[in-house]
Structure 1
Amino acid sequence: MKTGTRTITVGIDGSRPSLDAADWAAREAERHRLPLRLLHAGIAPVLPVRVPDVDVPAGRTRTALDRAAIQLSYAHPALDIIARSTEEPAVPALLEAVAQSEMLVLGSRGSTGFAGFLVGSVALEVSARAERPVVLVRAGELPEDERMPVVDGTPPGEARYLPVVLGLDVDHPADDLIGYAFDAAATRSAPLRVLHTWTMPPLRGYAPGVPLLEEATERENSKWRVLSATLQPWRHKFPETHVSEELVHGHPGHHLLKASTRAGLLVIGRKTGAGGGAPTGLGRAAHSLVHHATCPVAVVPHT
């Protein structure tokens, strides 16, 4: 992960999806021992109250940001929480915030107060342009959803974490992407499942008698060798992380979506322009995963 201002930032608008994302971000900040920054962009809606708030200055009404900060401080009393609001529109404000953070966390479903955007459209645009990782958290995500089911009376908060799943293109591996996934697994003491999908390229000039099965087998063996070699230095760097390698034939969206049903976090990459140039945006598979994955999705930019 790139170094920078050591905070985790979450977009807040008072909606249930953004509060679920904020709670996930708070747990992630605790795991990394980092401060949590809450950011509200746009005009803050005023929340009516039935009785006066004794700790709110005269003439001021508590906002959605205030309430989110209070709720999180009760749920995570040891966490350093910083609340900030801006009237700048959501997308530029969030892009500026993520450039100054270790990661940005956003809710991935539901309507928001971000200048009338749907959170999906804000999340997609920010994910496609951000300089650093963006984690999209589905509405209704609970702490127990990232842990193994309890079967022996173990308290839910002490159950083992579900695996972190990394979708990796071995033809274009990236240290930022791989490092993020290994770090996420290590901070959770969770296993890491590395998944590479591949397809046979179209055959040109094919003539009967060409041993297609042998060619496919050799290509698959070559992929295995590259995958193993790519992960080897990371295994040495994170010796306590259990890593499983999987090579499957087909398209990445389908297999990663299936893998997300048994994962606590799905990590995918997004290529940026060479030398930090213009971003290339989200591909078709990433769009599908952001919309349909059943666990939080981390979109990690890399060259």
Structure 2
Amino acid sequence: MSKDTRSVTVGIDGSLTSLDAADWAAREAERRRIALRLLHAGDEPAAPAWSPGARPARTILDHAAVQLSYAHPALDIIARRTGTPAVPALLAAAEESEMLVVGSRGFSGFAGFLVGSVALAVASDAEHPVVLVRAGELPEDERVPVDETTSPTQAPYLPVVLGLDLAHPADDLIGYAFDTAAVRAAPVQVVHTWTLPSPRGYLTGVRTPADTAEQEDAKWRSLAAILQPWRHKFPETTVSEYVLYGHAAHHLLQASTRAGLLVIGRRIRGGTGRLGREAHSVIHHSMCPVAVVPHE
């Protein structure tokens, strides 16, 4: 990681959703001991969330920077305004940041995401990890629930869940999950899902329970081998492994109900890489923030 990327950038548009994302980004920047960049891009909003009257974008940034500096006095905060449209401005900022954070509105009455076109476009094309933070995300949501006699800030962090494809176990993806867990002193849960290929034609062989068990055993061995060097590199991080039969989105969404962050990959092919159907489902319905990590 080059020196100029040692920052967390968050998109600010004056909405409560973006302010919740900024608060998450500030906590993450503080945990990593790097700078926080606030970026407002595109047209000025008609009215910031905290005022019934319109304010210029500079005031939005100043207000957000002041609020965050009170909550995180040791954090280096840099605010910037650009007239460039949101998507290209955020993608450019992602190139210069360790990660980019954007907000997603929550469904009314549900805890999942309603991902806007800007957030989805950025997550699909950014060169560095993009974290999508749902509206209403609170600091205590990333920690283990405690009783009223214990301060939430003293509670352990919930696990970082990593969805891993054994065919493409990219170092960038695994490293991001382990780094994120390490700065939180949180455990890592690695989830690999698999299904049997659909039969084609009439001459396919009959699969036996022994065949299926052998395939699953091979996947367990492969996962253990992939994670062994990471266990060695992060000896203080507790790692749990899961090989589960079924579709990835189903199992990852279940895991998100008990996670502080869900990490998924986006494979880049020929310089570009789009989100697949499973990734779309995870992003839209996760119960915790989602980090999308591009990799070869």
Instruction: Name 2:287's counterpart in structure 1.
Output: 294
Alpha-carbon separation, structure 1, partners of 2:207 and 2:274: 39
1:299–1:2: structure 2 CA closer, same or farther, 3 Å change rule?
A: farther
Instruction: Name 1:222's counterpart in structure 2.
Output: 218
| Identity rate, percent | 68
Q: Which amino acid aligns with 1:134?
A: V
Alpha-carbon separation, structure 2, partners of 1:119 and 1:228: 34
Instruction: Name 2:29's counterpart in structure 1.
Output: 29
Q: Deviations over 1:86-113 (max 9, x none)?
A: 0000000000000000000000127xxx
Q: Alpha-carbon deviation of 1:172? A: 1.3
Q: Is 1:146 aligned to residue 138 of structure 2?
A: no
Alpha-carbon separation, structure 1, partners of 2:196 and 2:119: 33
Q: Which amino acid aligns with 2:191?
A: L
Structure 1, 186-195 or 60-69: larger mean CA deviation = 60-69
1:44–1:191: structure 2 CA closer, same or farther, 3 Å change rule?
A: same
Structure 1, 123-132 or 152-161: larger mean CA deviation = 152-161
Q: Alpha-carbon deviation of 1:151? A: 2.9
Q: Alpha-carbon deviation of 1:62? A: 5.7
CA contact (8 A) 2:142 2:259 kept: yes
TM norm structure 2 = 0.90
Q: Alpha-carbon deviation of 1:43? A: 2.5
Q: Alpha-carbon deviation of 1:206? A: 2.9
Q: Is 1:201 aligned to residue 197 of structure 2?
A: yes
From the CA coordinates, give the structure whose radius of gyration is larger. 1
Any unmatched runs of 5+ in structure 1? 51-59, 111-117
1:203–1:235: structure 2 CA closer, same or farther, 3 Å change rule?
A: same
Q: Deviations over 1:254-275 (max 9, x none)?
A: 10001000000000000012xx
Mapping of residues 150-229 of structure 1, within 5 Å: 150-151=146-147, 153-203=149-199, 205-207=203-205, 210=206, 212-229=208-225
1:262–1:148: structure 2 CA closer, same or farther, 3 Å change rule?
A: same
1:85–1:211: structure 2 CA closer, same or farther, 3 Å change rule?
A: closer
Structure 1, 226-235 or 195-204: larger mean CA deviation = 195-204
Q: Alpha-carbon deviation of 1:212? A: 1.5
Q: Alpha-carbon deviation of 1:197? A: 0.2
Q: Deviations over 1:56-81 (max 9, x none)?
A: xxxx8962111111111111111110
SS in 1 for 2:146: coil
Count of aligned positions? 282
The runs of at least 4 aligned residues of structure 1 exceeding 4 Å deviation read 1-4, 46-50
Q: Alpha-carbon deviation of 1:165? A: 0.2
Structure 1 residue corresponding to 2:252, chosen from 249, 252, 256: 256
Structure 2 residue corresponding to 1:278, chosen from 249, 260, 271: 271
Q: Alpha-carbon deviation of 1:202? A: 2.6
* RMSD over equivalenced CA pairs, Å: 2.1
Q: Deviations over 1:158-183 (max 9, x none)?
A: 10000000000011110000000001
Q: Alpha-carbon deviation of 1:290? A: 1.1
TM norm structure 1 = 0.88
